[in-house]
Structure 1
Amino acid sequence: MLALTSLSPRPSPSPATPPHRRPPPPRGRIRPTSAVATAASDGGGAGDDYHSTIRSLNSHGRRHVPRKSLGQNYMLNARVNEELVAAAGVEVGDVVLEIGPGTGSLTAALLAAGATVVAVEKDKHMATLVRDRFGSTEQLKVIEEDITKFHVHSHFLPILDEKSRGTKKYAKVVANLPFNVSTEVVKQILPMGDVFSVMVLMLQDEAALRLANASIQTPEYRPINVFVNFYSEPEYKFKVERANFFPQPTVDGGVIRFKIKDAGEYPPVSSNKSFFSMVNSAFNGKRKMLRKSLQHLYSSVEIEAALTNIGLPPTARPSELMMDDFVRLHNHLGKV
């Protein structure tokens, strides 16, 4: 869950970490503690995180069962939430968007870090649970809505303007995201560099690795990789073993951090829309040469000439082009 507090300016592009910021968590994996592992495996044990989750799920005489249709798996290990908050560099005064707060375990970590949290929850029962858990604190606003239909600008720009005090401020996104909406959220949030500076998500581990590290000429390389690198600088942070979740899923989780670019940092293309239209068209025939998959946009002769002029073979396929190659190809074809 994310917290909203007074925002800090967009981080400097310098790789140095300011001394007042908490360092990012170490790479690696987070295994369940013995108590949490016991709770996750047999529904019992003495783990505080487990019992806190169960109390929340059974609050006010209601039993809230995680809904498979919404991809709900709740976090049992408080350390994971703390690492998510640290990976985003959440500090006192930050404004944070949290997606799908569930029982509120990540929300608690964000509030403890001093943030003001806007939590967007599709499940009205879980939204009520989070409101009940945290009471009337002014640091938390719970909105019952589907994140894919959520009007980010209308909610966040007024908050950011209020806290800016004459200096441009940016919010952050921190979420233990339902695995079934990860791609939609990434596509929705990354182009919002006017609102957000950082997004830290826990996704299915394979998805996190694919978004951060997919290389050209591999089966994992897709248009979403070009999209992610166009709008952000992704970094895989650590693996979270499945026994940390309730109910236990069939896959592990993985945490990825996106440093979101603002518009001035985007690669230079004449039109973002036409650029991604070209990229998506190229991958529609992933195994085809570009002179075939793009021939509905340009002639084969024009495509071959453009590839040659940017230093690529005329027989190149989409899986062989890095993002910068696609940018140069798009710009060259735009002059045809």
Structure 2
Amino acid sequence: MFIYLLRRLNLIVITAFILTVLTFILEHWHNGALMTQSNYFVSYYQYIGTLIEGNWGYSNMDQLPILEKGLVAFASTLELCFLAFLSASIIAIPLGILAGLDRNSRLDYIIMSIVLITLALPVFWVSIVMTMLPHAIGLNLPIDGNISPIYEVPTLTGFLLIDSLLSAQTYRLDAFFDHLAHLTLPATVLSLFLITEIIRLTRHSITMVMQKNYIKSAKAKGLSRLSIIFRHVLQNALPSIIHQLWVQISTIISFAMAIEIVFSLPGAGTWLYRSINHADYIALPTAILIISGFILISSILVDIFLMLISPIKRETLYVRK
């Protein structure tokens, strides 16, 4: 356990160094600073000091702290990802289990055909089509923004669903459901991608577990199919599903940022798009540090969590010399 944590700590330090060097170069390239090699190292040391202090600079558009703006925008993106992941898991995990348990059956072919068709759809195109859907079928769903202007919700955590409930305003529940309505279409688009990935990963993991000897032994003992699924199959397949899905977290966040631009949803994607259009290039290194830092730290935490709950993963991945 200690050796594993030490390895992960080394990964954090090395990756953080690479990220800060990259953002340092971007920032000084934008400022047009030409320095000698000695001044370069001194400036990098000072740059790290400002990052640790939280003084990341100010936006050229409104003169607000760029770190605060970046964290609020990224919190909105994470909120969209969480809502889409929650809804996608409810649909995709049962379908992936059914496809994995009866592989090459008619149901498996139907499910995987839908998955392949959905994977072929560009997320940006689906987002544009989804903006026209409410008008076409008569749905009363907003297609832009994150909340109606009649509601004023103070920023506490950056997650508007939570902030609306924590607000002291009498209309907090109305604001909560209004924001939820604004997230419905963007979350639906993102969940389509997540559903295909979760089905594919669940199907593969279930199929691999069903071929293990302990599953054959459980069948020989006369255990029921449901007992085998819940006591053996899911317990051993779930860690692999979580790990493989979390590996794609950067892709999920990228899709969410593209969807935000189409729906004018205030988030990291819209913030970066508007910042670049207004030549506020300081937003770019800020976004790299925030998003990359989140992906790195969360991936390590997920690996530690999976190591604690999965003895097989602990043995095969972390004890191996």
Aligning the two structures, in what range does the TM-score lie when normalised by the shorter sequence? under 0.3
TM-score after normalising by structure 2:
0.27
Larger relative CO (CA 8 A, sep 6+): 1 or 2? 2
Bigger radius of gyration, 1 or 2? Answer: 2
Structure 1 or 2: more strand by fraction:
1
Structure 1 or 2: more helix by fraction:
2
